[in-house]
Amino acid sequence: MASRNDKAGSGRWAYAYNPPKSNSKTATPAIPEPQFRVGPPGVSSGLSFRNLPDASLLAIRQICTHYEKKCSGKVEWNDNFGRDQEEGFQGMFGIVPMTPTALKNTLVNQRKKILDLEKLIGNTEKKFEEDKAQLAEVMETQVEASRLQAEADRGRHQDTLIAMRKRCDDDVALAQAQAKAAKEEAKKALDFDRKRAEKTISNALDDERDKSLKMKKDLNFIEEKLNKEWASKLRHLEVKVKTAEDSKRAAVEKACDKLKRVHAAELAAAVREAAMHAGKAAMDQVTSGTGMRRGSTMTADKARITERNLRREEGEQEEKLIGETA
C-alpha cells in the first residue's frame, strides 16, 4: 500500500485546500489590460474594435498553465488534505474525515514513537561514549607504541646514519681525487697541444718567410730581366725612329730640290713667255704710236701679276709636299 507522503508528481491528484505557505507563490495569470480608443466627438462613440490589440500568445499560455496546475492538484501536497484513490478515501474537497478515537490513537502512536526514538538516541549516545573511550585508549596505546618504535628506530638509524655519512665522505674524497687527477691530465694534454700548436705555427711562419724571400728574389730577377729587355727594345726603337727620320728628311730634301728645279724651269719658261708677249706687245705699240705707251704699261703689269701668282702657287705646293712626307 502506498504512503500518503508521495509527491504530487507520482501520479496522484491532490486538491489544495489550505492557503499557500509563506515561501511559495501562487501563479497569477498575466492578463493584458484592455486597450481601446474613443473617437472624437461628433464622429463616433464607443469602442474601436479595429484598434483593439490581438490576444497575446504568451498571456494565453500562462493562463492555461495556471488553471491546469490549479485543477490538477499539483500546486501543493499536504498529509492532512487530499484524496488517496488507492485507500478509498472519499471526502469533500479532499478532506479526510477523522474521528476523535482515531485522532487519539494517532497521538498515542506518535508519543510512543517519540519515546522509542529518545530511548534509541540515549542508547546510541551511551554506546558512542563507550566507543569514544575505547578509541581514545587505543589511540593512546598506538601513540605510545609509535613513540617507543621511533626511539628504537632513532637509535638503530643513528649507526646507519654514521655509516652512510662515512661512506658519503669516502665517495666525496674519491670523487675529489678523481677530479684532481682528471684536471692534471687535462692540463698536461692542454700543454702538449699548445706546444705542438706553437711548433706548427713556427714551422708555418718559417715556410712562409722562405717562400716570401724566394718570391722576392724571383720578382727582382724578373724585374731586372724586364728592365734589360725594355732598355734593349727602347734602343732598337730609337735607332729605328732615327733611321726613319733620316730617310724621311732625305726624301723631303730630295723632293724639295726636285720641286725647286721644276718650279724654276716653269718660272723661267713663264718669264720667257711673258717677255715674248711683252716684246710683241711693245712692237705692236711702237707701230700704233700713242697707244704704245699705254699698252706697254698694261702688259708689264700683267707680267708682274702672273709672276707673283706663279711664286705663290710654288710655295703652297712645296708646303703641301713637306706635310705629306712628314
CA distance 309 to 63: 148
The single-letter DSSP state of residue 79 is T
Q: Is 307 helix (H, G, I), strand (E, B) or coil?
A: helix
Q: How far apart are CA 17 and CA 77, in angstroms?
A: 10
Strand, helix or coil for residue 78: strand
Rounded Cα distance, 159 and 152, in Å: 12
Q: Which of 87-91, 177-181, 290-294 has the lowest mean pLDDT?
A: 87-91
Which of 256, 278, 241, 231 lies closest to 324, judged by CA? 256
Tell me the C-alpha distance between 89 and 74, whole Å.
19
Interhelix angle 100-288/290-325, nearest 10 degrees: 140
Q: Can you tell me the distance from the alpha carbon of 124 to that of 120, in angstroms, rounded to the nearest whole number?
A: 6
pLDDT at 41 over 70: no
pTM of the model: 0.24
Answer yes or no: is pLDDT of 80 > 50. Answer: no
Q: What is the DSSP string of 116-177?
A: HHHHHHHHHHHHHHHHHHHHHHHHHHHHHHHHHHHHHHHHHHHHHHHHHHHHHHHHHHHHHH
Dist CA 65 CA 74 (whole Å): 11
Residue with cell 661512506: 167
d(CA 259, CA 318): 7
Instruction: Specify the higher pLDDT residue, 88 or 247.
Output: 247
> Per-residue pLDDT averaged across 294-312, rounded?
65
Mean pLDDT, rounded, of the chain? 73
Instruction: Tell me the β-bridge partners of 148.
Output: none
For the chain, what's the residue count? 326
Give the model's pLDDT for residue 26. Answer: 54
- State the pLDDT confidence band at 51, using cuts at 50, 70 and 90: low
Q: How far apart are CA 22 and CA 79, in angstroms?
A: 18
Which tens digits make up the pLDDT trace of 81-98? 444 444 444 444 444 556
